[in-house]
Each structure stands twice: as C-alpha cells, then as structure tokens.
A and B are shown apart, each in its own frame.
Chain A
C-alpha cells in the first residue's frame, strides 16, 4: 500500500467529558494529506474541544486519534494502551501547529523572538539558520517590518499573523486553527484569511474551526457541521452550505447568514 495516501488525521469514537458534561460524543473524522477541512457549528458544539484533542491540549476519555501516523497520547503494548510521558507528548505535538483565537503570542518576546523560540529552544537548531527562516516567515505573512515589535504593540490581525508564522516555524505537517478570526475587529479579518488562503494553496493540511462561511466555501475541501458534541453532517462546502440535509445544519446556517 502506498504510504503517502494514509490520512493525516484519523479520529474514531472520540469521547470527552468536562465533569458530567459530555463535550464530545463518539466523534469520528478522517482528514487526508493536503486537505483543508473547516469545522462549523454553534458555540458549545465541541468543535474547539475536538481540535484541542488532536494536539493533546485536552485528554480524551474514549476512542483513538492518530496524527501523522502516530497514535496520540498512548503507546500500544499488546491489548493495553500505555500513557506517554510529558516529553513524548511534547514530541508528538511537533507534527501539528496550532493557532489560537486569542493569538497567545509570548508577550515578553518580540515578533521575531516569538517565531524563533520553538526552533531554537525545542528543536535546538542553530540560531543563525533559524533567524533567516524566521525572517522569511515574517516576510511571508507580510510583517517583516514588525520583527522587533512586542505583541502588545501590534494590532490583533498582526498578532495573529505572527502566531501563524510561529506555528509554521516548527515545520508542522498539519495546521490547526481555533477560531483564528473571532477575536479580531471586522476590518482585520481579511488580512488573516489571506495568509490562511495562501497556506492552503501551498498544500498544507489544515483543520479550521471557524464562523467565516465565506472562507469555508472558498477554501475548504470539506465542511464539517458539529452540534451537541457530535458530527452532524460532512460534505463538500457547496452541499453543506447551500443545500444542507440536516435541519440543525439548515437552522445554523440560516442564523449565521442573518
């Protein structure tokens, strides 16, 4: 079997509880290499939680997730799954990059230092080489001029673009976006979406939790609608956004468009 056609992400029967609240209910989803998947749904539907489970910011209670061919969080020994150590989990997280709703740039570092931090501290690569790559990445997101600015000196849109560059600096095979434009002023959304569109065009595998239906329609290969912790409907953007089959999808899309 050709290894390259193996999916980037395979999730099967994933459950997640917050106390007694069931946040994820038997979620299964496959994401192919190079595919862009947008997850939409009302708040509290579990879409962000699912994204956070993929890179182990949340620990799942049941089911299994494979990322880039590796079982996430456990090592299989015979019939048992053994929990991985802190160091092994940190290593597994290297295959995915994450972009957060609130940017979460390191506030005590400049834009350039934010982008260089991972490769230098975690991957222990030579500083000079990393610096050149980081400058190229800042250039790519259109912020070469802001390299010495601290996060609080930048607009939300600029911060989010630096955050994308910081994630890309680790050379991830998969990018996770958790409502990347929801905390932005309306006039700043476009600049972030442009960077994401370019990234998708470059062939990056992306899972994007978003409320930007226009972006989903234009860029996504598939759209996933989630509600009450479960996947309700999956399909090409045209089908899901224009002629949804499930009434809950229809209600949600009608509510967002108005």
Chain B
C-alpha cells in the first residue's frame, strides 16, 4: 500500500489536497483593541487630573535632586543591599540547617523561621531598636564591653530587623529551590566522592538558583519599599526625608511624587538585573521564551512504539 490515499477514491483526501495551498487569514482579536482603547482613555484622564490638579510641577523638579532626597536615596539603596545580603546569607544557612539530618540544627532553624515569620516586622524593628532595655551592655564581661545604645544605631537596628526577617522568608524560598533539584543529581555527586556540603555548593545550589531567583528578585523589590518602615526608628531613607521636607513646606503631593519616582527608578534597575541573573542561571536549560527542542529527542513516537512491539 502506498503512504497516502489516492484522491480519486477519498473525498477527504481530495479536500485536503486542494486546501494545502490556500491563503491564511489571521484571527482579528477585537477584544485586544477594545481593551487597549479603554486603557488609553483611562490613562489620558489620569494625566489630565494630575496636570490640572493643585500640583506645582516646578516644586517636583526643584526637590527631585535635593540633598535630603539624594541622601535618602543612597540610604535606601545601601539598606536594601545590606539587608538583602544578610537575608540571603541567613536564608541559605537556615534552609540547609532545616534540611540537615542533625536534629539540633533542624530545630534551631525551625525556631528561627517560626519566630521571625510569626511577628510583625515593625515590632521586630522596635525590639532591635530598644535592645538596650534588655541588654544594657554587650561584649564579653571582663574583656571588652560596649554600651548597647552605642552599637544599635538606627542603621544597625534596621539592618538586623529587615535582614533577620528577610532571612526567615528566604530560608523557605531556598528550601523549595533545593527540593526542586532531582535527587539523582545528589546521588551522582555522592558517587564521585563528594561530601554533603560539596554536593550542596557545587551541584544542588547552582541548580536551585533557577527556582530561587524569581521569588528572591520579588523580595528584593519588596525590600526597597520595606525600608520605608524604618522611618519609625528614625532611619533617614527617601520617604522619611520627603516627609521631613513637606512638614516644612506643605508641598505634600509634590514630594510624594518625587519619592515615588525614585522608588520606581530603583525597582526598574533591579528588574533589569533580575532578567540577566535568570538568564545566567538557566544555563543548560535552554531559553523558556524561545521554543527550542532539545536535540536528539525520540525521533517520532509512532516509530519508537512500532519497533518496541516488534522486539
């Protein structure tokens, strides 16, 4: 029998043959056009409201690069970077402890995650800031001692508060990343003589990064904005400095616009950074956005199935 039916005996075969060269008309997607038009209208209305509202755009421009705002911006960026560095470090350490066969380490990690996820962040900041009430001095008695109020500055209290809190959340993110790596990878690593820690460092964590980065990027962006909470313990970040200015000149909306613009600028940069990090850690996985077929897959299911039944 030949591979295809003779068109003279089958009506469907005849139809298919005549259809194979026809012109293709794309779907219209009317819904998209309607949605775009509605959104544009809403945007125009918003722009008009802000343009006609009681906003001195001159003031926005004037304070956009004011010294206090710049200081606040730098402080926000420094705090975000430090708190995330501390948070990610603690997150990895506690995730590994949580998954350790050692029950002491596991319970310690469990307690840490339970406490720092279980209490409000603002409360934790206040505890760190008021640590001197519990520990008036710090250090090793007899060797060296410092007054706690000298060590726990607004910066330190904010760093510890945000970093420790972040660590508890990141630990869970890292743990899910580690769980996502196939157990066969660990076995292969063991079989070439790797210890538990080497396996983690060389094989498991690099592969877990693919899963860890999107949520951590998300938390990085949250952190930029969470730093504003630190204004309650006098850490001078963007929002606090903007507020200080509008208490003096009563230009509330103008300064909030300035602050918003800077937050958006920082977040935009972070989002771009995240894109490149994700690309780096998807090494060997191909690019999800392109539809690339892994080379050398099963030729055709029908063929494979046929030869299997023959065997």
User: Does A81 make an interface contact (CB < 8 A)?
Assistant: no
Within 8 A of A (CB), among B262-311: 281, 283-286, 294-299, 304, 307-308, 311
Interfacial chain A residues near B196, Cβ < 8 Å = 86
The 8 closest A-B pairs by CB, nearest first: A155-B296, A150-B284, A118-B192, A104-B188, A98-B191, A104-B184, A94-B193, A122-B193
A121 to B193, CA, bound (A): 10
User: Does B147 make an interface contact (CB < 8 A)?
Assistant: no
Name B's A-contacting residues (CB within 8 A).
182, 184-185, 187-196, 198, 202-203, 206-207, 281, 283-286, 294-299, 304, 307-308, 311
Within 8 A of B (CB), among A139-171: 150-156, 158, 163, 166-167, 169-170
A98 to B193, CA, bound (A): 11
Whether the Cβ atoms of B284 and A151 lie closer than 8 Å is: yes
Whether the Cβ atoms of B193 and A105 lie closer than 8 Å is: no
Whether the Cβ atoms of A152 and B187 lie closer than 8 Å is: no
Contact A152-B284, Cβ < 8 Å, known A107-B185, A108-B207: yes
On chain A, the number of residues with a Cβ less than 8 Å from chain B's Cβ atoms is 42
A167 to B296, CA, bound (A): 23
CB distance from B305 to the nearest CB of A (A): 10
Interfacial chain B residues near A109, Cβ < 8 Å = 284
Interfacial chain B residues near A156, Cβ < 8 Å = 296
Whether the Cβ atoms of B307 and A187 lie closer than 8 Å is: yes
Query: Could you pull out 18 A-B pairs where Cβ atoms are within 8 angstroms?
Result: A57-B190, A91-B193, A94-B193, A100-B191, A104-B185, A107-B185, A108-B285, A121-B198, A122-B192, A122-B194, A150-B283, A151-B284, A152-B285, A153-B284, A153-B286, A153-B294, A155-B297, A156-B296
Whether the Cβ atoms of A90 and B194 lie closer than 8 Å is: yes
Whether the Cβ atoms of B296 and A186 lie closer than 8 Å is: no
Interfacial chain A residues near B294, Cβ < 8 Å = 152-153
Whether the Cβ atoms of B188 and A108 lie closer than 8 Å is: no
Contact A87-B304, Cβ < 8 Å, known A57-B187, A108-B284: no
CB distance from B278 to the nearest CB of A (A): 14
Interfacial chain A residues near B195, Cβ < 8 Å = 86-87, 90
Interfacial chain A residues near B298, Cβ < 8 Å = 185
Whether the Cβ atoms of A106 and B203 lie closer than 8 Å is: yes
CB distance from B99 to the nearest CB of A (A): 14
Q: Which residue of B lies closest to A97 (CB)?
A: B191
Whether the Cβ atoms of A90 and B193 lie closer than 8 Å is: yes
Whether the Cβ atoms of A122 and B198 lie closer than 8 Å is: yes
Partner of A104, one of B187, B281, B284, B307: B187
A187 to B307, CA, bound (A): 9
Whether the Cβ atoms of A167 and B207 lie closer than 8 Å is: no
Besides A118-B192, A123-B193, 12 more A-B contacts (Cβ < 8 Å) are A55-B191, A86-B195, A104-B182, A104-B184, A104-B188, A106-B203, A110-B284, A117-B202, A122-B198, A152-B294, A154-B295, A158-B296
Interfacial chain A residues near B283, Cβ < 8 Å = 108, 150
Whether the Cβ atoms of A186 and B304 lie closer than 8 Å is: yes
CB distance from A171 to the nearest CB of B (A): 11
Whether the Cβ atoms of A93 and B191 lie closer than 8 Å is: yes
CB distance from B300 to the nearest CB of A (A): 11
A70 to B167, CA, bound (A): 43
A155 to B295, CA, bound (A): 7
The CB with the most chain A CB atoms within 10 A, among B184, B189, B192, is that of: B192
A86 to B186, CA, bound (A): 14
Whether the Cβ atoms of A186 and B285 lie closer than 8 Å is: no
Interfacial chain B residues near A185, Cβ < 8 Å = 298-299, 304
Q: Which residue of A lies closest to B298 (CB)?
A: A185
The CB with the most chain A CB atoms within 10 A, among B182, B206, B295, is that of: B295
Interfacial chain B residues near A55, Cβ < 8 Å = 191
Interfacial chain B residues near A166, Cβ < 8 Å = 188, 192
CB distance from B195 to the nearest CB of A (A): 5
Interfacial chain B residues near A97, Cβ < 8 Å = 191-192
Whether the Cβ atoms of B188 and A106 lie closer than 8 Å is: yes
Within 8 A of B (CB), among A49-79: 55-57
Whether the Cβ atoms of B194 and A105 lie closer than 8 Å is: no
A3 to B189, CA, bound (A): 31
A158 to B294, CA, bound (A): 13
User: Does A102 make an interface contact (CB < 8 A)?
Assistant: yes
Whether the Cβ atoms of A154 and B296 lie closer than 8 Å is: yes
Q: Which residue of A lies closest to B311 (CB)?
A: A186
A110 to B283, CA, bound (A): 9
CB distance from B282 to the nearest CB of A (A): 9
CB distance from A120 to the nearest CB of B (A): 10
Whether the Cβ atoms of A90 and B190 lie closer than 8 Å is: yes
